[in-house]
Amino acid sequence: MALLSTQIPQRIDRLPWTGWHWTVVIGLGITWVLDGLEVTIVGSIGSRLQDPVALGLSSYQVGLTASAYLAGAVAGALGFGYLTDRYGRKKLFLVTLAVYLVATLLTAGSWNFASFAVFRFLTGLGIGGEYAAINSTIDELIPAARRGYVDLAINGSFWFGAILGSGASIVLLDPAAIDQRVGWRLSFGIGAILALGILFVRRVIPESPRWLLTHGRADEAERVTVVIEERVRRDLGEALIEAQGAILIDTERRHGLLDVWHTMRRIYPQRTLVAFALMISQAFLYNAIFFTEALVLSTFFHVRPSDVGYYIFPFALGNLLGPLVLGPLFDAVGRKPMIAATYGLSGILLLATGILFVRGVLDATSITLCWSVVFFFASAAASSAYLTVSETFPVEIRAMAIAIVYGAGTLVGGALAPALFGALIATKSPDRVFDGYLLGAIAMLVAALVELRFGVEAARRRLEDIAAPLSASAAAPLAG
């Protein structure tokens, strides 16, 4: 055992917000922009892909390709999540972005259902790996006082990508503007261009000092922290306040997969339950509605494929505004009340939308407005699920915990949802589609109750106080 007393976590958390933090936000937050772009483009072109001049897919096959993307995301999260905890945050968030870039270009060259599904799986592989690597890195570099808002805002940037995707689809899916044999293929080039540009930004983002500290690289952690402090001091133009407190770390303590199982199952079982409940419910809700939105609009409201982007735009805008408007309350009011409130309201409003839909009182415009209101709250709720997992488990297993919960949540609540809703929509029965809405609403309401009963209040608290590092000497984990 080699014990080291360090203030590195305290030094990071006491830093004021400056331009350096914006570099982190931009460089890492692009993950959700890319995911939003991907999902929106595929959602927008869903009906176009059924055209013989494109790939001639059935509505069921469109749903299956969405499930293939999510299945890839599960595999990527688990595989790259393990590597992120073992080999470091920075190496993996560069690798996963490169995987996404190559797979997106391959998707543009798809020639039939099988090739499109395979390339969507590979694209999901990169995005899933990004979720594990990026969420852990963000929370380990952002000061405690702003962690909630920043995390929600970054996760909510998914919808900025959705807006880009919907805008692009309006042009690229317009037969009068673009030959539809290539228009849907060009849609994927946008994501590849963004990914290529952001690779250069990520090169200047450092490795997490918290990860270095707990993996026997204390000297490197100190050097990185000093560089960060110098950058913040220059941006601030004045001296930094002194850090308070310290933590005792065993720098020779090593960690493996058994630590992940023991921590999630034995030490923090209630936190694991909350994490799964939040992730599964929001994954089902989002993937059920968003991946099949274009199919609902075209099947029940006869919206042309080239016009779907006009309807996705307000839907995406409501999702984007939710975390930005409600995000500060997650730090000011607290995690538990805000998470429960956003999940509960999402479920209630979705149920109301489903009732109006099945009664036939909605048209394409009004159902889009209803969805926009539902997901104003649901977007903040979904973002808080990632925040919850990231900040309530120890640093040594953080990426893997995110990967497991995201993977299970996506597999159960996400990968099945698009195929299920695709089949429900294929019946052309509003009653059957309502059954899906009802299931999503119940899932969100159950998650709200689980959060109220078992959730951890983590607002404005240092990560090490919420969950002591496994390397912390004589540290007693918090109950729950």
pLDDT digits (tens, 9 = 90+) for 16-39: 999 999 988 888 887 778 777 777
| Nearest residue to 298 via CA among 25, 24, 38, 46 | 46
Tokens read off for 157 = 């940037």
* Residue positions counted in the chain: 480
CA 348 – CA 285 distance, rounded (Å): 12
250 forms beta bridges with 3
Within 8 A by CB and 6+ apart from 52, the residues are none
Say if CB 9 and CB 463 are below 8 A apart: yes
Distance from C-alpha of 248 to C-alpha of 442, rounded to nearest angstrom:
45
Look up residue 467 and give its DSSP letter.
S
Residue type, 460: R
With CA atoms as reference, report the closest residue to 64 among 422, 408, 407. 422
Which residue, 447, 273, 462, is CA-closest to 347? 447
CA distances from 335 to 148, 339, 415, 469 (A): 8, 6, 28, 21
C-alpha neighbours within 13 Å on the C-beta side of residue 97:
29
Largest pairwise CA distance in the chain: 70
Q: What CATH number matches the domain at 3-466, 3.20.10.10, 3.90.1150.10, 1.20.1250.20, 1.10.3720.10?
A: 1.20.1250.20
pLDDT at residue 480 in the model:
42
Residue 428, SS3? coil
Residue closest to 382 by CA, chosen among 137, 157, 65: 157
The answer to whether residues 89 and 399 touch, using CB atoms and an 8 Å cutoff, is yes
Cβ atoms of residues 140 and 89 within 8 Å: yes
pLDDT score, position 473: 64
* Per-residue pLDDT, 475: 42
Helix (H, G, I), strand (E, B), or coil: what is residue 247?
A: strand
Write out the two tokens for 214.
Answer: 């707990």
In the prediction, which pLDDT does 47 show? Answer: 67
- Beta partners for 259? none
Tokens 């000061």 correspond to 143
**Burial class (CB within 10 angstroms; exposed 0-12, middle 13-18, buried 19+) of 273:** middle
CA-nearest of 471, 463, 412 to 151 is: 463
DSSP string, 407-474: HHHIIIIIIHHHHHHHHHHHTT-HHHHHHHHHHHHHHHHHHHHHHHHH----TT--HHHHS--TTBTT
Ramachandran category for residue 49: left, alpha or beta (phi over 0 → left; psi -120 to 50 → alpha): alpha
From 218, 171, 209, select the one nearest 190 (Cα to Cα): 171
In degrees and rounded to multiples of 5, residue 2 shows phi and psi of -125, 105
Q: Supply the pTM of this predicted model.
A: 0.87
What is the pLDDT, as a whole number, of residue 228? 97
Q: Which helix (H) or strand (E) holds 351?
A: helix 335-358
List the one residue out of 99, 104, 77, 114 whose CA is nearest residue 165: 104
Cα Rg, the chain, nearest whole Å:
22
Q: What local confidence, expressed as pLDDT, does residue 291 receive?
A: 66
From its phi and psi, is residue 393 left (phi > 0), alpha (psi between -120 and 50) or beta? beta
Token pair for 164? 């880009």
d(CA 142, CA 13): 7
CA–chain centroid gap for 222, Å, is 30
Where along the chain do its domains lie? 3-466
Cα–Cα distance measured from residue 137 to residue 142, given in angstroms and rounded to the nearest whole number: 9
Q: Which of 322, 323, 359 is nearest to 437 (CA)?
A: 359
Query: Residues in the chain with pLDDT < 70?
Result: 42-47, 173, 177, 179-180, 291, 306, 414-415, 473-480
Alpha helices in 45-182 (DSSP H): 59-87, 89-108, 113-141, 147-156, 158-172
CA 33/CA 155 separation, integer angstroms: 9
